[in-house]
C-alpha cells in the first residue's frame, strides 16, 4: 500500500544566465579583451597580454562553478510516518535527514526584516531547509511545510 504524500517539494537555486547566455557573455568578454590586446600591442606593452588571458580564464572558471552549483536540489517529502530531506548535488545524491513526522517541529527564525531561516527540529537535531529560496519564499515554504506536517499527523492520529 502506498503512503500518502503530504508534501513533495523540490527546491533548486534560480539562475538567470543560461548556457547560451554564458557563451554570448564569454564571446563579448573575449572580443573586448582582443581589442584591448591589439591596442596594447600598438602601444608596445606586450607584457600585459598574458593577464588578459588569465582574466578570461578566471571568469570562465567562476561561471562554470556557478553553473555546477545550480544543479543542486533539495527534496522535502512529508508522509504520515516520516519527513525526509534529500540533498542532491551535481555528483549524485545523499540522504541528509529522516525523522518521524509525529515528533518533528518546523521552526521559522526571522532575526531581521529581510532574513528568514526554516529549520526542522527533533530533540537536539536540527536541519536548515530551503536555503536556495528568498526570505519571503522561505516563510511561504515554512507555512506549507507546517500545514503538511499537521495534515500528516491528523491522518496518523485521527
94: Cα separation from own chain's centroid: 15
CB 149 within 8 A of CB 83: yes
Q: What is the pTM of this model?
A: 0.73
Q: What whole-number distance in Å separates Cα of residue 6 and Cα of residue 83?
A: 10
Q: What whole-number distance in Å separates Cα of residue 24 and Cα of residue 42?
A: 27
pLDDT score at 157: 67
pLDDT score at 95: 74
pLDDT score at 155: 79
Residues of the chain with pLDDT under 50: 1
Torsion over CA of 150, 156, 157 and 158, rounded to 10 degrees?
80
As a three-state string, the secondary structure of the chain is CCCCEEEEEEECCCCCCCHHHHHHHHHHHHHHHHHHHHHHHHHCCHHHHHHHHHHHHHHHHHHHHHHHHCCCEEEEEEECCEEEEEEEECCEEEEEEEEEHHHCEEEEECCCCCCCEEEEEECCEEEEECCCCCHHHHHHHHHHHHHHHHHHHHHHHC
pLDDT score at 158: 61
pLDDT score at 88: 84
Amino acid at each position: 500500500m502506498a503512503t500518502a504524500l503530504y508534501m513533495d517539494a523540490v527546491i533548486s537555486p534560480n539562475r538567470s544566465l543560461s548556457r547560451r547566455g554564458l557563451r554570448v557573455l564569454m564571446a563579448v568578454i573575449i572580443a573586448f579583451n582582443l581589442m584591448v590586446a591589439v591596442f596594447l600591442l600598438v602601444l608596445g606593452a606586450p607584457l600585459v597580454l598574458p593577464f588578459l588571458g588569465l582574466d578570461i580564464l578566471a571568469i570562465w572558471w567562476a561561471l562554470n562553478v556557478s553553473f555546477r552549483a545550480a544543479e543542486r536540489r533539495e527534496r522535502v517529502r512529508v508522509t504520515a510516518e516520516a519527513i525526509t530531506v534529500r540533498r542532491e548535488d551535481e555528483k549524485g545524491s545523499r540522504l541528509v535527514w529522516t525523522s518521524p513526522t509525529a515528533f518533528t517541529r518546523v521552526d521559522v527564525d526571522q532575526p531581521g526584516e529581510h532574513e528568514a531561516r526554516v529549520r526542522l527540529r527533533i530533540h537536539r537535531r536540527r536541519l536548515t531547509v530551503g536555503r536556495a529560496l528568498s526570505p519571503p519564499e522561505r516563510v511561504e515554504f515554512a507555512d506549507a511545510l507546517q500545514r503538511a506536517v499537521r495534515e500528516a499527523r491528523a491522518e496518523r492520529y485521527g
